[in-house]
Amino acid sequence: MAENMPKRKIKDSVFTNLFQDRKYLLQLYKALHPEDHNVTEDEIEDITIKHVLVDADYNDLGFSVGNRLMILIESQSTWTLNIIIRALMYLIQTYHDYFKRTNQNLYGSKKVNMPIPELYVIFTGERKNIPDTISLSKEFFGGAEIAIDVEVKVLYQENEKDIIGQYIIFSKVYNEQRKLYGNTKQAVTETIRICKDRNVLKEYLESREQEVVDIMMTLFDDEQILKAYAKDIEDNKERETERKTAERMIKKGKMTLEEIADCVPALTLDELKQIEARII
């Protein structure tokens, strides 16, 4: 992989890194709840769960505010209603950990205490008829009454006045620079320069600029690795299909191996000879 190739899941990594800092986590909370003037950093606790569904980097964020709220957020650049399912699974696991952490007995007679959940998705892609709120009942069961429903609020507004809107701007600036410069270091540095000039995440980018560059310039590109793995699987499927085709053609005995080789290009003549030897 080229040395100047940035990680494709760049926004997810910056998202996670940004809100690991309790100062910015507090700003995030105040953007969601501007009416809460008295909350402090000490009341904000990061409860993000790592690797809930798969063993991979996540663009998820979970935090609690005292014992009052449990807020789970996912950032996405591509739209899918499956976000609702992920949010439900994430919420269940987070509550499981909460009850364990607070030593509450779910099997006892005493009613447990639990914080109110809030679920959000920060959408950084192009918005086309995406609603402000999505729900499990509406999107998957036609609005029917179901045993448990899940509602997820969708945040998509660019806004230089709050940290959520700034993160969305940052993500879109990077998309624009990537269109101009491709997946290169120039796209990364231009994104940082433009955002600092616009006062978008300026304090964060200035204080951690090298760290941000390092994150964005990750040598191991998960997406490219996944694509290569998927291609290997597809190639293996193609070879297996052609192997079975070759076996049928050899059994019929109407064509030479050389002629069969022209019909199944994924297999070499030597491989065809080995197949013939096993059949005979």
57 is a domain residue: yes
**Pairing outcome for strands 60-65 and 69-76:** antiparallel
pLDDT at 229: 52
Residue that is written with structure tokens 């760049």 in the block: 10
User: If the chain, 280 residues long, is cut into consecutive pieces of 10 residues, what is the mean pLDDT of each piece?
Assistant: 47 80 95 94 87 52 92 90 93 93 94 95 87 96 95 95 96 92 87 96 94 71 52 74 85 83 83 81
Q: Are 240 and 202 part of one and the same domain?
A: no
pLDDT at 87: 92
Number of domains in the chain: 2
179 is a domain residue: yes
What is the residue range of 62's domain?
Answer: 10-219
Q: Are the beta carbons of 226 and 7 closer than 8 angstroms?
A: no
Give the contacts of 207 (CB within 8 A, at least 6 positions apart). none
pLDDT at 227: 55
Q: Are 55 and 96 part of one and the same domain?
A: yes
pLDDT at 8: 40
- Both tokens of 50, joined, read 């790592």
pLDDT at 55: 41
Q: How many CA atoms lie within 13 A of 222 on its CB side?
A: 11
pLDDT at 10: 46
The pTM for the full model equals: 0.74
- Rounded Cα distance between 47 and 279, Å, is 60
